[in-house]
Amino acid sequence: MNRVIGYLLMMFLLVGVNSAYAAGGVVKDPAGVAPDRYVYYPGTEALQEDEIRVVVCGSGMPAARHGQAATCFLVETGNGDKFLFDIGTGSMANVAALMIPYQYLDKIFLTHLHTDHMGDIDAIWAGGWTAGRPNALRVWGPSGMRPDMGTKWAMDKFLEHANWDFVTRKFQISPVPGNIETTEFNYKGENQVVYEENGVTIRSWPAIHTGDGPVSYALYYKGMKIVIGGDTFPNKWFVKYAKDADLLIHEAFMGPELFVKLYNQPPQLAWRACCAFHTSGQAFGKVMSELKPRMAVAYHFFNEEATRYSLYDNIRETYDGPLSLTTDLMVYNITKDKVTERMAVATHEAWAVPGTGRQPGPQPGQPPVFSKAIVDGRLDNIVQPAQKQMLDEFMEKYNLQDQDWRKQMKK
Ligand SMILES: [Zn+2]
Ligand SMILES: [Zn+2]
């Protein structure tokens, strides 16, 4: 009997040692570092040619919270391409913390036009514009039942609503980065190719959510497949076209009781939200049991002590395969051999990192954005002498002596 206990104890210790080793590795040298990282430090790991990295930049809900932004997944492929799938409210703070030059963050694929999936389009549009993106944004997204329910309408109207920003920034900075090139495709297209460049193919198929229009995407690269479900009730297209995924991202909602208790929703809405136009944990599990991905990824819930065990239990009622419950800045590396999950350790105080591209300056001949009455209110006679020495040095350093501020001083 004692031998059995001793054996079990030994096995327990071995397993313990093994799992610790797998997680981080042994530090053998007091001056050394852990051989395998527990965490991902943005900007420190080059992707292999045959590798994909997916960073969760938003995994939460429409209601804002510090800990989790609304939906956004960054997919990086080994050829250097980067794709943002959705850009929900608050998510750009996470994207920016990865310190990727804005010039590479110019391809956005929208699953649908709920603001928790596109609310930070303004942050990437204007933030990238001021931080040196030399090129226009490119946005792909589905059509709708009517022209005013499609992605093209949404992006055109976004620029219209931001017209003051657009016009004045164009005047002061550079016009090109303020443009949005929208590619709208038929939301009913089944497994249609919506993007094909540099060895990356992206396909779409219809999703079923709160009305016609939403889609799911699959990205194919070097024989690997990443599926981004967007918001959807389980549907026939998903189980048909999301097969053989290496990483299968699908929404999973908390049970209705938690929506009543924690989210202040009336019961008549709570059950529909979780289980009629979204996907419950049990339903998520059914989909995953059918598709058997290398890694099932659940998102679209606030991941915290009050919720995660209940959602986990709900999913485990119907699925026992590999499972990952997301929170923001979770990172997946995908190769043919393995799928790993880590957390990114990112700074809260990231600055934009320069790329190789340079913005052209303001275009001459832009229509005026100031009237004489407003310009005449400037206190140049007081301000310019005060900042003269500082600016003179700057202008000399960067060879800008002919710039406009001097003319204003001479008035
Ligand atoms: Zn939605
Ligand atoms: Zn959503």
Give yes or no: residues 169 and 265 share one domain.
Answer: yes
Ligand nearest to the CA of 210: 1
Query: Does residue 358 fall inside a structural domain?
Result: no
Could you tell me if residue 185 is inside a domain? Answer: yes
Q: Ligand 1 mean position to 234 CA, how many Å? A: 14
Residue 361's pLDDT band (boundaries 50, 70, 90)? confident
Domain match, 111 and 236 both: yes
Q: What is the tens place of the pLDDT at every residue in 33-56?
A: 666 667 899 999 999 999 999 999
267 with 226, same domain? yes
Q: Is residue 62 part of a domain?
A: yes
Residue 24 has pLDDT above 80, yes or no: no
Digit-coded pLDDT (tens) for 303-325: 999 999 999 999 999 999 999 99
Ligand lying nearest the CA atom of residue 112:
1
Distance from first CA to last CA of the chain, Å, rounded? 99
Last residue of a domain, one of 327, 344, 361: 344
Q: How many CB atoms lie under 10 A from the CB of residue 81? A: 17
Which residues hold their Cβ within 5 A of ligand 2, which is an ion? 116, 231
Question: pLDDT tens for residues 146-156?
Answer: 999 999 999 99
Average pLDDT on 156-161 reads 98
Task: Please answer whether residues 242 and 295 qualify as being in contact, where contact means their C-beta atoms are separated by less than 8 angstroms.
Answer: no
Q: Is the pLDDT of residue 15 over 60?
A: no
Whole-structure pTM value: 0.91
Residue 166 sits at φ, ψ, to 5 deg, of -60, -50
Task: Give me the pLDDT at residue 368, please.
Answer: 87
Q: Residue 231 contacts by C-beta under 8 Å, 6 or more apart in sequence?
A: 71, 111, 112, 114, 117, 207, 209, 210, 214, 251, 277, 278, 300
Q: Does residue 329 contact residue 96 with C-beta atoms inside 8 Å?
A: no
- Give the angle subtended at the CA of 371 by the CAs of 367 and 375, to the nearest 5°: 115
pLDDT in the model for residue 141: 98
> Average pLDDT in the 243-271 region?
97
Q: Can you give the pLDDT at residue 29?
A: 78
Q: Are residues 328 and 376 in the same domain?
A: no
Q: How far is the CA of 88 from the centre of ligand 2 (A)?
A: 8
Between 257 and 15, the higher pLDDT residue: 257
Which ligand has the minimum distance to the alpha carbon of residue 62? 2
Q: How confident is the model at residue 407 (pLDDT cuts 50, 70, 90)?
A: low
The answer on pLDDT for 236 being more than 70 is yes
Q: Is the pLDDT of residue 7 over 70?
A: no
**pLDDT reading at 366 higher than 90:** no
Q: Show the domain range for 298.
A: 39-344
Tokens of 164: 């003051």
Residues 64 and 128 occupy one common structural domain: yes
Q: How confident is the model at residue 364 (pLDDT cuts 50, 70, 90)?
A: confident
The reply to whether 235 and 105 lie within a common domain is: yes
Mean of the per-residue pLDDT values of the chain: 91
Considering only CA atoms, which of 246, 247, 248, 252 is closest in space to residue 231? 252
Q: Do 126 and 79 belong together in one domain?
A: yes
Say whether pLDDT at 145 is over 50: yes
Is 366 inside a domain boundary? Answer: no
The answer to the question of residue 8 being in a domain is no
* Helical packing angle, 121-130 and 163-172, nearest 10°: 10
Tell me how far apart the alpha carbons of residues 32 and 30 are, in angstroms, rounded to a whole number. Answer: 6
Give distance in angstroms: CA of 111 to centre of ligand 1.
9
Which numbered ligand comes closest to the C-alpha of 113? Answer: 1
Task: Express each pLDDT in 55-97 by its tens digit.
Answer: 999 999 999 999 999 999 999 999 999 999 999 999 999 999 9
What's the confidence (pLDDT) of residue 406?
47
User: Among 344, 363, 395, which residue terminates a domain?
Assistant: 344
pLDDT at 26: 73
- Tell whether 390 and 241 lie within a shared domain: no
pLDDT for the residue 171:
87
Contact predicate 86/72, CB 8 Å: yes
What is the distance in A from the centroid of ligand 2 to the CA of 48? 32
* Distance between Cα 62 and ligand 2 center (Å): 7
Q: How far apart are the C-alpha atoms of 362 and 184, rounded to whole Å?
A: 30
| 125 in the same domain as 81 | yes
Residue at 233 is within a domain: yes
Phi/psi at 13 (5° precision) = -65, -40
- Distance (angstroms) between ligand 2 centre and the Cα of 278 equals 9
Residue with tokens 């065990």: 309
d(CA 248, CA 268): 30
Is residue 103 included in any domain, yes or no?
Answer: yes
CATH of the domain at 106: 3.60.15.10
What is the percent of the chain with per-residue pLDDT over 90, rounded to a whole number? 83
Total domains, the chain: 2
Examine the domain organization and report whether 301 and 381 are in the same domain: no
Ligand 2 centroid to Cα of residue 300, in Å, is 7
Cα-to-centroid distance, 214 and ligand 1 (Å): 8
Residue finishing a domain among 344, 360, 381: 344
Q: Are residues 338 and 376 in the same domain?
A: no
- Write down the pLDDT at residue 404: 63
Read off the pLDDT band of 13 (50, 70, 90): very low
Tell me the residue type at 52: I
Q: Is residue 24 part of a domain?
A: no
pLDDT of residue 17: 43
Ligand number nearest CA of 89 is 2
Residues 143 and 242 in one domain: yes
The DSSP letter of residue 178 is G
Q: What angle do CA 323, 319, 344 make, to 5 degrees?
A: 10
| C-alpha of residue 302 to centroid of ligand 2, in Å | 12
Helix (H, G, I), strand (E, B) or coil at 276: coil
